[in-house]
Amino acid sequence: MIAQLDRTNCIGCGLCAETCPEVFRLAEDGFARVIRERVPREAERSAVSARDGCPVAVISILKQKNP
């Protein structure tokens, strides 16, 4: 899975970083950022929860194509 985030519309609530700290963090500017684009297998569920819980729907979790 690949995590993407539209920072221009992020409101900086921090829910994604709380839900999935393996993939998301709040940056110094107060808005979320992806720290690990490829979601570790053990964090897939929490990354999807972060996407689903985002109040402004700026997170995308894309399935990787098999090589």
* Per-domain residue ranges of the chain: 2-62
Q: What is the pLDDT of residue 64?
A: 80
pLDDT, tens digit, 9 for 90 and up, residues 30-49: 999 999 999 999 999 999 99
Rounded to whole angstroms, the Cα distance separating 53 from 58 reads 10
Rounded to whole angstroms, the Cα distance separating 66 from 21 reads 26
51 DSSP 8-state letter: H
Burial bucket for residue 66 (CB in 10 Å: 0-12, 13-18, 19+) = exposed
- Range 2-62: architecture per CATH: 2-Layer Sandwich (3.30)
Rounded to whole angstroms, the Cα distance separating 35 from 41 reads 15
pLDDT, tens digit, 9 for 90 and up, residues 54-65: 999 999 999 986
